[in-house]
């Protein structure tokens, strides 16, 4: 009798727990939780204490992990800033929106380019706006600004569902800091100079032919060639002296506040803006996307954190970023919002191994994982930190080893805020709440596709019946020097051409047994080899059938600098202003 009594009450207790947990989630969802998203720039998974780093101090990110759920297989949808962030904002692989490049320019190069996140893409910010949320983004954008004029703002955050923007429409570059070697693509500069010379020769030939009567061609055609040549020449010339003024700017909504930006006060301004946004919107609900400029080169770090870490300037920059995370979390606590806020922390892709200054490493550490930023298939370029915290709704101190993606943030927060996913397009992300709460034990993802630009480099298959995690590499970069683990001397590894190796049959790894991708399997060493390759091959065919042609936003024309698109505070080309008071803000 006592045993039956115990069993009966145990069942009732478990049922009650499930009921109240579900009720709690429902109540939290009904009250529309605030959403706070932290996204670091170029941060390696091995740079964070809760992911195994014992020498860089990240107590605030570590606290998020202790108080929430840590994902160990959180995957970026691209290994570079622009496409990865496009996927994060839309829940779709970048190739679907045209944000995947078929050329060597895989990220936006200028504020005055015409490419960017298309206006017909629906970001999570727009859907939350429709649910009554106040939406803001603080920090890096790097999804474009204008399309046809310097003030159309077609790619601007305010045209993609954000009510408020303060930050950098572009991304940090060495060019943003004086006395740093220029970072804008040297090959692009050489190509611009070559095109300038070719067009100049063509103009000279046409003009000479017209004057001598050897060619019957109108002066209008000659003038058009001259105009195009001038654009290429100005682009080439400006890439040497004007990058700081034309790319390194801060904006508040549509207005430029600093041109060029003053890096010594940027961190304090970003922190001030994030805290102010929380205070202004504490009655909620709000979405705040804190898109850090840290830890991208040139790693400008304020004096308070310089020479404080054991890993030079890079470690100093990581620790400053962590401190900023802590201050923003403190603002949540101060306003009593912690328990009604879903907080998320991640990086847009892996650490930049090739970022060096002599013997000093200026990029991140990707732990045990091979490769880094720019490498479409290797784990080091795409496996990133992923942490969720929501006290009372998500369990604390839980680690999940299932495959998840930055793509998943989109459907997860749309679900939580009562929105409806777009029905007119493919959404590649999956709602993570059942997995985060422990209501299911396996991720919804069966296959994840790993692109380098518009080229499919690798695919992972989560074989759920056995728990195996297979990954097939069809293309891998050729490291330089051989065996170095990166493409030193090239900036980042290429996606195609002579700098890659095509594998037929593909390289196959079982990541649960070989996370470092050190020992490729073969038909001789793995009995399931042929079955796995065939299964992944069929998945690729099905995936490609879901793709539709779209305009390429990162074509050479779209990434090229265009003077009529240049955001300018002043009279072009004399673009300069400082509307932040002219004083340095202390941290």
DSSP result, 342-407: EEEEEESS---TT-EETTEE-S---TT-S--TT-SSSHHHHEEEEEEE-TTTSPSSEEE-S-EEGG
At residue 233, the 3 state secondary structure works out as: helix
Residue in this structure with the two tokens 């002219």, named with its chain if needed: 582
The alpha helices in 31-141, defined as continuous H runs, are: 59-66, 81-90, 94-97, 124-130
User: Residue length, the chain?
Assistant: 587
Are 289 and 345 in contact by the 8 Å Cβ rule? The answer is no
Task: Please name which of 547, 430, 500 lies closest in space to residue 94, comparing C-alpha atoms.
Answer: 547
Q: Rounded to an integer, what distance in angstroms lies between the CA atom of residue 396 and that of residue 443? A: 19
5: burial class by Cβ within 10 Å (0-12, 13-18, 19+)? exposed
Are 239 and 231 in contact by the 8 Å Cβ rule? The answer is no
CA end-to-end distance (rounded Å), the chain? 67
At residue 504, the 3 state secondary structure works out as: strand
Q: Which residues are catalytic?
A: 81, 142
Structure tokens, 119: 């206006």
């Amino acid at each position: 009798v006592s045993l039956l009594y115990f069993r009966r009450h145990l069942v009732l207790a478990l049922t009650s727990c499930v009921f109240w947990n579900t009720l709690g989630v429902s109540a939290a969802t009904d009250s529309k939780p605030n959403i706070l998203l932290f996204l670091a720039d170029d941060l390696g998974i091995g740079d964070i204490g809760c992911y195994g780093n014992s020498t860089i101090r990240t107590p605030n990110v570590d606290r998020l992990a202790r108080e929430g759920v840590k994902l160990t297989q959180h995957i970026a949808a691209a290994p570079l800033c622009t496409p990865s962030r496009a996927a994060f904002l839309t829940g779709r692989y970048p190739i679907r929106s045209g944000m995947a490049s078929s050329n060597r320019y895989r990220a936006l190069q200028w504020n005055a380019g015409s490419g960017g996140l298309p206006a017909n893409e629906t970001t999570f910010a727009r859907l939350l706006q429709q649910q009554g949320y106040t939406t803001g983004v603080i920090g890096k954008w790097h999804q474009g600004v204008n399309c046809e004029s310097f003030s159309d703002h077609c790619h601007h955050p305010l045209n993609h569902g954000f009510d408020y923007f303060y930050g950098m429409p572009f991304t940090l570059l060495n060019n943003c800091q004086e006395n740093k070697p220029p970072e804008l693509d040297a090959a692009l500069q050489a190509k611009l100079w070559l095109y300038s010379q070719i067009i100049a020769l063509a103009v000279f030939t046409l003009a000479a032919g017209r004057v001598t009567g050897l060619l019957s061609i109108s002066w209008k055609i000659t003038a058009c060639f001259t105009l195009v040549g001038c654009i290429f020449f100005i682009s080439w010339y400006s890439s040497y002296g004007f990058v700081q003024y034309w790319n390194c700017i801060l904006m508040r909504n549509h207005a430029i506040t600093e041109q060029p930006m003053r890096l010594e006060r940027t961190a304090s301004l970003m922190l001030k803006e994030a805290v102010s946004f929380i205070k202004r919107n504490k009655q909620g609900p709000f979405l705040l996307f804190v898109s850090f400029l840290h830890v991208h080169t040139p790693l400008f770090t304020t004096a308070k954190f310089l020479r404080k870490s054991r890993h030079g300037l890079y470690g100093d920059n990581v620790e400053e970023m962590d401190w900023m995370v802590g201050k923003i979390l403190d603002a949540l606590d101060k306003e009593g919002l912690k328990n009604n806020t879903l907080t998320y922390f991640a990086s847009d892709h892996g650490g930049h191994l090739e970022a060096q200054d002599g013997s000093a490493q200026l990029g991140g550490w990707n732990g045990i994982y091979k490769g880094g930023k720019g490498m479409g298939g290797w784990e080091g370029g795409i496996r990133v930190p992923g942490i969720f915290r929501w006290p009372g709704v998500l369990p604390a101190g839980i680690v999940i080893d299932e495959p998840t993606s930055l793509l998943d943030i989109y459907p997860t927060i749309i679900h939580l805020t009562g929105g409806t996913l777009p029905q007119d397009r493919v959404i590649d992300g999956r709602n993570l709440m059942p997995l985060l709460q422990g209501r299911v034990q396996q991720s919804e993802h069966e296959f994840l596709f790993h692109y380098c630009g518009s080229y499919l480099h690798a695919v992972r298959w989560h074989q759920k019946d056995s728990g195996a995690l297979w990954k097939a590499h069809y293309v891998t970069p050729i490291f330089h020097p051989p065996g170095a683990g990166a493409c030193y001397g090239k900036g980042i590894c290429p996606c195609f051409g002579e700098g890659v190796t095509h594998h037929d049959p593909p390289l196959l790894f079982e990541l649960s047994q070989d996370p470092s991708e050190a020992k490729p399997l073969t038909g001789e060493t793995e009995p399931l080899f042929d079955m796995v390759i065939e299964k992944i091959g069929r998945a690729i065919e099905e995936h490609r059938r879901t793709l539709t042609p779209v305009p390429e936003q990162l074509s050479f024309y779209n990434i090229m600098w265009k003077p009529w698109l240049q955001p300018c505070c002043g009279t072009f080309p004399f673009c300069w202003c400082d509307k932040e008071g002219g004083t340095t803000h202390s941290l």
